[in-house]
Amino acid sequence: MTRYADMDQVAGDFYTNNFAKTAKESSLILNLGPQHPSTHGVLRVIVEMDGEYILRAEPVLGYLHRMHEKMAEVKTAAQFIPNMGRVDYGHALAWNWAFLGAVEKLAGIEVPERAEYVRTITCELNRIASHLLWWGAYLLDLGAFTPIMYAFDDREKVLDILQMPTGSRLTYSYYRIGGVALDLSEDCLRSIREFIPWMRSRLPMYKDLVSDNIILRKRIEGVGVIEPELCRRYGATGPVARGSGINYDVRRAEPYSVYPKVDFIVPTSELKDARGRYDVRMIEIEQSLRIIEQCVEQMPEGDILVKGAPKPSWKAPKGEAYFAVEGGRGKIGVYVASDGGKNIYRTKLRAPGYSNLSLFAEVSSGTILADAVAILGSLDLIIPEIDR
């Protein structure tokens, strides 16, 4: 009997040998990953090198596949909610929201207004935590150790706040069909109000320490230029597309929840390079703070869960629905189709990271290896989301 280790070796040899068949005789085949710090998870990238220059690159997925869509077929809608927090641990609440939004749309459930505000506040806090995680890890990839300490210091404050209503710090399962599990307490709201000016006071320090640092600028300016047409061909969204000047954000383009009621800008950059994507995410932190501040002030009293909310054994009515939200990495889309049975018949997850990663092969061609790492990091990849 073939052992799993042997099967992995066979799969590895297949990809490597297949790649090597069309490689130049003088070139070198190099594996980045699947266990490599720059891949942020078990992602493998096979590259054909001519000295320091990349001739070809091919991402290889499958090392972290957990069959979330298949699991959705054997769980009720309520039972599947925890899975969503594990698709993208960086912005778990956005995935919670996308799935439940599709289920609520299918069932014609109207979420109470206060619950919509709570969802918006917590989702934007989670977005800030996601961007801080990316910021610290990206700079670590580029050789700077100090910034990740500041990033995690500030991120801990966000996690402390989110832990109050959710009970979790990473893989959240907080939203419910028709609302949220728990209201924001006065202590939680006070912590949010205190965090907003604190985080704003930190952003100038981030700029002085890192953003304006000549070493970082030399590593990311003019590196990994992605033209808008390339984004459209691969379906890239989020900061990757906005960093190439495409003004597309689901919160504005396909408005949902209370986003039409709050004032914020959608940052874009005409640089089209790793620097442009960096700048967009840093501005988005400020815009998330702006959204949270308005929501805290505008949030009405009322229910946080629709009256007669579905029980865990609830059956979704027959039909189909699609719902999209703006996640930390781009457009998250969830399609659900129900035949009226105990479990939702089919759930399809649209992960933004998959499209964003797909353009890496074309963008990295002709760059040096060190720049390829800077490009890969600028895409803000979460491998469990891509390899869902």
- Looking at residue 311, its pLDDT comes to 87
Instruction: Answer yes or no: is pLDDT of 166 > 80.
Output: yes
Instruction: Answer yes or no: is pLDDT of 183 > 60.
Output: yes
- Looking at residue 189, its pLDDT comes to 98
Range of lowest pLDDT (91-105, 236-250, 301-315, 327-341): 301-315
At residue 68's C-alpha, the angle toward residues 388 and 80, to 5°, is: 135
Instruction: Answer yes or no: is pLDDT of 22 > 80.
Output: no
**Percent of all residues in the chain with a pLDDT value above 90, rounded to a whole number:** 82
DSSP assignment letter at 78: H
Whole-number Å distance between alpha carbons of 327 and 91: 7
Over range 237-265, report the average pLDDT: 97
- Looking at residue 125, its pLDDT comes to 98
Whole-number Å distance between alpha carbons of 89 and 382: 8
| Contact predicate 154/291, CB 8 Å | no
**Beta pairing partners, 338:** 319
Give start and end residues of each alpha helix (H) in 90-185: 92-107, 113-141, 146-166
Instruction: Answer yes or no: is pLDDT of 7 > 90.
Output: no
Over range 250-262, report the average pLDDT: 97
Q: Is 262 helix (H, G, I), strand (E, B) or coil?
A: coil
pLDDT tens digits along 27-62: 888 888 787 777 777 889 999 999 999 999 999 988
Max alpha carbon distance in the chain (Å)? 70
- Looking at residue 66, its pLDDT comes to 86
- Looking at residue 65, its pLDDT comes to 87
- Looking at residue 280, its pLDDT comes to 98
- Looking at residue 1, its pLDDT comes to 34
pLDDT tens digits along 191-223: 999 999 999 999 999 999 999 999 999 999 999
Instruction: Answer yes or no: is pLDDT of 276 > 60.
Output: yes
Other CB atoms within a 10 A radius of the CB of residue 197 amount to 11
Over range 265-281, report the average pLDDT: 97
Over range 227-243, report the average pLDDT: 97
List the domains of the chain with CATH numbers: 68-386 (1.10.645.10)
Mean pLDDT of the chain: 92
Instruction: Read off the tokens for 77.
Output: 């809608």
- With cut-offs at 50, 70 and 90, classify the pLDDT of residue 11: very low
- CA torsion angle 251 148 383 18 (round to 10): 130
